[in-house]
Amino acid sequence: MSSRLVAGLLAVAAAAGVTAGALMESGLPASAFTWALIVLGLVYPGLGWLLAVRRPDVRYGWLLLATALCLGLGTLDVGLITRTGQTSGPVAALFAVFTVYYGLTWVFLPLLFPEGRLPSARWRPVAWVAGVAVGVHFAGIALVSGDGLSLSHLGSDNLVPVLAASFGQLVVVISGLVAFVGLVVRWRRSRPDERGQYAWMVAGVAVNLVGAGLLTHFDFGGGQPVFGVFGVVAVLGALPVALAVSVVRHRLLDISVGVRGSRLHLVFDVRPTVDEVLSSLGSELEDAPEPVEQLGRLASAVRTGLGARWAAVTLADGTRLVSGREQGEAALALPVGGGPGRIEAGPRNGGRFTGADRRFLEALAVPAALAIQSAGLATRLVNAQEAERRRIERNIHDGVQQQLVALIAGLELARATGGGPDLLAQLREQARQTLADLRELAAGIHPSALSQGGLVEAVEERCARLPVPTTVAAGGELRSQRFPDEVEGAMYFTVSEAVANALKHAGATRIEVRLARAGGRLCATVADDGRGFDPRATGHRGLATLADRLDALGGGVELDSGPGKGTRMNAWVPVDA
């Protein structure tokens, strides 16, 4: 069952209990005061649902839902007692759930504010003592029979439960005062961006405690009913209202509510949850097969998720991709992948990072490690392909080239001696074997012009032997520049394949090749005046493998063609500025 569904069920159950119990107690038509109490009782489940759904990894939202459920069950029980008149049995015993509600509001809501965690390990004894006291208080109230809580009906059967309930309540009250003092200390020591949140929480707890004290001395039927009314309102509404203000005005847990435009339109300005970021990031990584682009999107997700000014992903080889403008030292950093790779986040746009922010970053460590590993594998793949190409080149030099030398020598011998049919048949078979070997080794071989003279010279040499007029245009500065072998090889063979397609498939009578460097990219364009084709119907015509090779380098290839309008191929790879 998803966290959203659980949070929704708890919130609905709490809201239904508060509404039904209050209406059963007062009867219909209900007074304005009853409806006001219902509204106040709905704040807890509403806030709990919002925090639990938007921040399922933060425990405070679930704590609010537990508080709301106790309030709802207790209020429902009061309504049932009013309607049935039962003062004993399971219905009356359910009234004891109010003790849990008081324990949560007096002790645990202020103690665990704002993330649902203890301020430090020193508060564990307080939490344990308060938890046991709440349990004793609950058991004592549940075991009291009849009107045993009234001193006039106190008998031997109820003595132990009443004493246990009284003792548990006393310990809970003392624990609540200790938690309140700790909250005040944390408010005084809080950072400026947190002070508003703590101030409202201190005020809410203080009013709640005062209201609870008034309820022990006044009721609605006494001589001063106004104090009883104030006590009920304070106990039900002080804390949830304080929390609501912290959300609306002070971005509690990075959640804010505002009004957009001229109309009343509530806007929930929230930082995305871990689940939302991981889901969105997974889709984005699938849509960006290039490792470099994947890492860029990962850095952007970290920056957005943390609300940081910048975020960066660094590979083991020192490659670094940054989202945003990198200024200042990293405020958060986390190694990933069990190696030197890491993700970093710069200063936050507002305030400082919290423990929840670090846990958020840790949750992104798995996809970060996978993306970094993917980029490393792609780099190794390109290097391995280049090494294999060099090996094939050596094989040709040491193997096929020697076969050709032997073949030429045999032909010279046959011409000098007037070789007979047997010698010619032998030479023909030798030529066929050499051709077969050449075809096996031809794919991916570096021409000597590419190794020695660079990309422009190799492309010019390739196009000089074509049977149709072909022009090669390149800037003068590009002719003298050299690029990594894998970049030059990828661009050369892409141009060669495009030229071959123009000759074999397009029936071109003129071909233009342009090489340029702009915007951090090395670009190649091959255009012909051939018959053209529909790229959607026929694919890339032999460029698919080379497109994968460009993708591994962070580049790409595009085809612009149509029947009767020729073909234009644009290819690019990123290069250092």
Q: Provide the residue range defining the domain that includes 37.
A: 1-85
* Over residues 359-378, mean pLDDT: 64
Residue at 446 is within a domain: no
Residue of higher predicted confidence among 559 and 541:
559
* Over residues 300-323, mean pLDDT: 77
Residue of higher predicted confidence among 544 and 173:
173
Strand partners, 556: 572
* Over residues 540-550, mean pLDDT: 65
Cis amide linkage into residue 114, ω under 30° from 0: yes
Residue of higher predicted confidence among 302 and 178:
178
Q: Are residues 246 and 261 in the same domain?
A: yes
Q: How confident is the model at residue 411 (pLDDT cuts 50, 70, 90)?
A: confident
In the chain, the percentage of residues whose pLDDT exceeds 70 is 68
Whichever domain contains 286, its CATH number is 3.30.450.40
pLDDT at 328 over 70: yes
Give the closest residue to 43 by CA, choosing from 22, 6, 72: 72
Out of 358, 375, 392, a domain closes at: 375
Residue of higher predicted confidence among 361 and 539:
361
What pLDDT is attached to residue 297?
Answer: 73
Q: Are residues 541 and 459 in the same domain?
A: yes
Residue at 125 is within a domain: yes
In the chain, the percentage of residues whose pLDDT exceeds 90 is 8
User: Cβ neighbours of residue 339 under 8 Å, at least 6 residues apart?
Assistant: 316
Give the closest residue to 17 by CA, choosing from 110, 131, 97, 105: 97
pLDDT at 265 over 50: no
pLDDT at 420 over 90: no
Q: Are residues 564 and 465 in the same domain?
A: yes
* Over residues 166-172, mean pLDDT: 88
Number of domains in the chain: 6
Q: Are residues 334 and 279 in the same domain?
A: yes
> Which of 3-12, 313-322, 406-415 is the most confident on average?
3-12
Q: Are residues 540 and 566 in the same domain?
A: yes
pLDDT at 487 over 70: yes
Q: How confident is the model at residue 512 (pLDDT cuts 50, 70, 90)?
A: very high
Residue at 232 is within a domain: no
Give the closest residue to 109 by CA, choosing from 48, 195, 27: 48
Residue at 535 is within a domain: yes
Cis amide linkage into residue 29, ω under 30° from 0: yes
Cα–Cα dist 433/402, whole Å: 12
What pLDDT is attached to residue 260?
Answer: 47
Q: Are residues 312 and 220 in the same domain?
A: no
pLDDT at 429 over 80: no
SS3 558: strand
SS3 472: strand
Q: Can you say whether the dihedral through the CA atoms of 535, 538, 542, 546 is positive or negative?
A: positive
> Which of 87-96, 251-260, 269-278, 536-545 is the most confident on average?
87-96
Residue type, 161: P
320: DSSP letter: E
Of 412-416, 438-442, 480-484, minimum mean pLDDT range:
438-442
pLDDT at 399 over 60: no
Give the closest residue to 177 by CA, choosing from 208, 153, 151: 208
Q: Are residues 539 and 473 in the same domain?
A: yes
Q: Are residues 36 and 125 in the same domain?
A: no
105: DSSP letter: I
Residue at 230 is within a domain: no
What pLDDT is attached to residue 554?
Answer: 85
Q: Are residues 558 and 488 in the same domain?
A: yes
Residue at 233 is within a domain: no
The 10s digit of each residue's pLDDT in 105-123 is 889 988 888 777 888 888 9
